[in-house]
Structure 1
């Protein structure tokens, strides 16, 4: 237990229990790690020489449907914080409605977008009403965990990098006051990039301001000090690695380059939060996306080239960082938890399958609408959605245009695949319509809502309409496919001669010893993997990620089931569970 106190700022220093303190914090997101491994990751943070852990809190995990709250399993943030306390770590919590974090919609719940008039991250009362309902529940759980109530939480953040988005100070005050009125009385702070624009837009005069950056600490702190000359130097996000997008190269940063920059800050007395110390995994459909020149979805792995790998192993960066801390702090002898085995379970035969088109009525409840509607308008958050209509014939060849697709659509005429229309190129597909007419099916994948920048408002599916030549098509049957009810599928023996088109494949394998493993899918194109009903995340042949991390706690002794939804076709009815990750 921590002694009742509070973290305070005096004379450009942080004080705890009236003693100056230098916070050496590491970011670990409980929602990216199976709960059975929380203690393992936190023990390794402590062993590396850190005295604090920082975590975001994603609204969309904790209120997946409006008014329905979840704080169990991987969402049990209270348990995560108590484990950190038991280990002897301080805790920094960042519970903003918006978290960025390369997380789906920056942590905002998708149901906000059911209202096409919704305004995000500003003083817009319908938005604030939703935050209030969430904070009424969340802050009640965090309040007893504060150091002022004998808990480990020493500081909490107001909003998140708001200066990168807007300058609505009335909104920032509302978030701050909403936290205080609900009993939050530890040190509150903001964090922003070290530029005039961001610091002007994202800070409040009565809150501690911190900076986020990955290099040039002197220049960054100098800029922060221009605006807050009496505040301590605090880097709330030191980016020691980076994340990957599909179709790009895997990011890596030299361990000693990161450690030397970190050491420079420690030498100067700055407090630093290492983002990330351990990245973890974007399980399920929780990966985010960016939009700079084009839409760029984030991969399933959030390895981030961290001191701890995605599967929790120590990397060269761990030792470089520990050495840097050891220059300025006394570190105990390295003591680590028992290693978690990595196991090669070998080849798994996918012996059963069923076509998506043959199972639509089983896993979806279709609705009829005049216009295509977005996922959010139909109460769907993630996954896929299929739009179906008929086109009367005859008609000469013309272009089919989707206005607009979010994010990637497979187009079928009478169940025959004719091409892809995606958000990147916004291309069209041409075909003619015979006299008898055709059935048009459009299967759209939500590849992750944008989590950063001005295009945050990112509804999924078809946002406006579909045109053949210049004519809008109406009278749609829509099949929501959240992929959360696959236990109702009825499989048949897989056929080696018919492995094309969107299909589900099923295999079973027996486990005697439980350990971590990695799913490798050579010859598979694009889809999603489920293990014993748990959604591991997406795979895509364009890389860079080639394997999916499968934590041991998701397995059980005896028979295990793996189901794969493949969107295109496969070369062979087998996958492999190997003992080494391949991230590109």
Structure 2
């Protein structure tokens, strides 16, 4: 039986000093058929450990509907880590941030943000149920039971959010009562207040940082007087948001900082080793004075790129690790270009009335949360009073992007990123507002905020009442569109928005593909029913990554749900990733 513990100055594995050299892979951002490949490449870079968050809202999107199969099979992921001869670190939150929608918290939790991440009894009851389910998977896979798990983290950067010690104490109690006996850790940025507020006596404090190594370690040591120093989030890259740039970091600088960490005897978890993809509608958003939704790619400028290919950074960090620990002689296979080809798209017509649920009628617009709606769109319709001249429509908040129409004619857009709240409305009969949830905020006090039309819109200062709120399930709509694809034109021109498009093609062999969206507007794409995610001409991201398991040797079907204007009615596939202009 192996053991793992914390000594006076070092981690102890089977009683011997041990330096953790870990990398982050989020199983929920990688196709399950590719888990083994990514874990193997982690070992070949010289890592001895793989770390993952657990995303509560991936496992339980609706209360009581727990799923730990397929994409959510955490047990299988940990078993693959063990089979590769590596250790594992599990960070179940319940809050994870991770640039993942709502920071991993399910939307069905109490909407009042003040109850989240506190000792509120109702919140803790739900958290206890969640953690016990996770620990049913993790506990038998601890190192003393022959499994890979050597550390479990309590909460996540809690010192940046709150200071409720009773909350942390309850998380520790649930964790220990569930059979977790490996060392428990916390992580916070190396700021005195955060390190003090985010942990408890008996928990091992670690840091999250990507530079100024000696200074950060010194601050961490002030708060963790004994035991090993560990940077459990060594930021080797960064994330991107729509309308921004593709963030990258200097390879040489990252390598130097990693060298400094390892030379100091510190343990490390590289965040990220492989970022993967925010498939479907799983991207988060930031809001630090301005709402910024994050892109579909979570490439993160990591050692393995979004498609799992080794980068220059991979080999540079491998060379650094080789100075401090054994590294396998074997190297991963180099990347090969993906097939490049073009496929015409057929226009299937409009799609925002396909696959919709029954509308909810009320005096006020219903939020996504009130509708218990987990997809991206809700359409709001209301009868307009008789107008003799254009009027001013004022909304309290449109979260997050709203296309406004009167009698089917577009009159403009309300964008949260621009702080839009008013628009001029011409005389007409029916006002329709299609609202997109562009991603739930994943960090800070806006966790759990509602989506949709917030409050009651005003027309020339008077409340508009009598709304119909219709949820639109994007994935269900794609399935309906596919089923009704019978009378589509073989040669279609770009049509009025919103429009649905289908293209078909064959492949000689299943392969990763890179779908170019530069000629499209804004919308969603599906390959053989697999939800690739969002695209937007706003950039920086240009390609959607299609993992090889989602493609077929036989006929493949691409479905595109365009919200604005498809400028080029074709799908072009590129040889590799195009993630946008880099930060200068």
Normalised by the size of structure 1, how large is the TM-score?
A: 0.96
Q: Separation in 2 of the partners of 1:394 and 1:207?
A: 65
Give the equivalent residue in structure 1 for 2:373. 380
- Is the contact between residue 522 and residue 575 of structure 1 (CA under 8 Å) also seen in structure 2? no
User: 1:498 Cα deviation (Å)?
Assistant: 5.8
2:206 to 203, 207, 210: 210
Structure 1 residues 415-494: aligned runs within 5 Å: 415-424=408-417, 425-433=419-427, 437-485=428-476, 486-489=478-481, 490-491=484-485, 492-494=487-489
User: 1:279 Cα deviation (Å)?
Assistant: 0.5
User: 1:557 Cα deviation (Å)?
Assistant: 1.9
- Is the contact between residue 406 and residue 426 of structure 2 (CA under 8 Å) also seen in structure 1? no
- Is the contact between residue 112 and residue 118 of structure 1 (CA under 8 Å) also seen in structure 2? no
Q: 2:579 aligned with 1:583, yes or no?
A: yes
Give the equivalent residue in structure 2 for 1:160. 156
2:196 to 190, 193, 200: 200
- Residue deviations 1:364-411, cap 9 Å, x none? 322212211111111112311111111021243221122211101000
Q: Separation in 2 of the partners of 1:126 and 1:396?
A: 51
Structure 1 residues 96-245: aligned runs within 5 Å: 96-113=93-110, 115-116=111-112, 119-245=115-241
Q: For structure 1, list consecutive stretches of 5 or more residues without a partner in the other structure.
A: none
- Residue deviations 1:302-338, cap 9 Å, x none? 00001111001110101110110111122221243x5
Q: Separation in 1 of the partners of 2:11 and 2:132?
A: 30
Give the equivalent residue in structure 2 for 1:253. 249
User: 1:511 Cα deviation (Å)?
Assistant: 1.9
Give the equivalent residue in structure 1 for 2:26. 29
SS of 1:37's equivalent? helix
Query: Could you say if the C-alpha distance between residues 263 and 43 of structure 1 is closer, same or farther in structure 2, counting changes exceeding 3 Å?
Result: same
Query: Could you say if the C-alpha distance between residues 318 and 207 of structure 1 is closer, same or farther in structure 2, counting changes exceeding 3 Å?
Result: same
Give the equivalent residue in structure 2 for 1:84. 81
Structure 1 residues 293-304: aligned runs within 5 Å: 293-304=289-300
- Is the contact between residue 382 and residue 468 of structure 2 (CA under 8 Å) also seen in structure 1? yes
- Is the contact between residue 347 and residue 492 of structure 2 (CA under 8 Å) also seen in structure 1? no
Q: For structure 2, list consecutive stretches of 5 or more residues without a partner in the other structure.
A: none
2:507 to 507, 511, 515: 511
User: 1:135 Cα deviation (Å)?
Assistant: 2.0
- Is the contact between residue 45 and residue 328 of structure 2 (CA under 8 Å) also seen in structure 1? no
Give the equivalent residue in structure 2 for 1:405. 398
Q: Separation in 2 of the partners of 1:422 and 1:428?
A: 10
User: 1:50 Cα deviation (Å)?
Assistant: 0.7
**What is the alpha-carbon root mean square deviation over aligned residues?**
1.5
1:352 to 338, 347, 354: 347
- Is the contact between residue 360 and residue 366 of structure 2 (CA under 8 Å) also seen in structure 1? no
Give the equivalent residue in structure 2 for 1:4. 2
User: 1:514 Cα deviation (Å)?
Assistant: 1.1
Q: Separation in 2 of the partners of 1:267 and 1:39?
A: 30
- Residue deviations 1:74-107, cap 9 Å, x none? 1111111100100001000001110000000000
Runs of 4+ in 1 over 4 A off after TM superposition: 115-118, 338-342, 494-498
Q: Separation in 2 of the partners of 1:473 and 1:344?
A: 53
Structure 1 residues 484-563: aligned runs within 5 Å: 484-485=475-476, 486-489=478-481, 490-491=484-485, 492-494=487-489, 496=492, 499-563=495-559
User: 1:581 Cα deviation (Å)?
Assistant: 1.1
- Residue deviations 1:458-498, cap 9 Å, x none? 21111212111111111111111121213223244257456
SS of 2:330's equivalent? coil
Q: Separation in 1 of the partners of 2:234 and 2:518?
A: 36
- Is the contact between residue 345 and residue 492 of structure 2 (CA under 8 Å) also seen in structure 1? no
- Is the contact between residue 193 and residue 199 of structure 1 (CA under 8 Å) also seen in structure 2? yes
1:70 to 67, 72, 80: 67
User: 1:52 Cα deviation (Å)?
Assistant: 0.4
Q: Separation in 2 of the partners of 1:226 and 1:572?
A: 59
1:14 to 11, 16, 36: 11
SS of 1:465's equivalent? coil
Normalised by the size of structure 2, how large is the TM-score?
A: 0.96
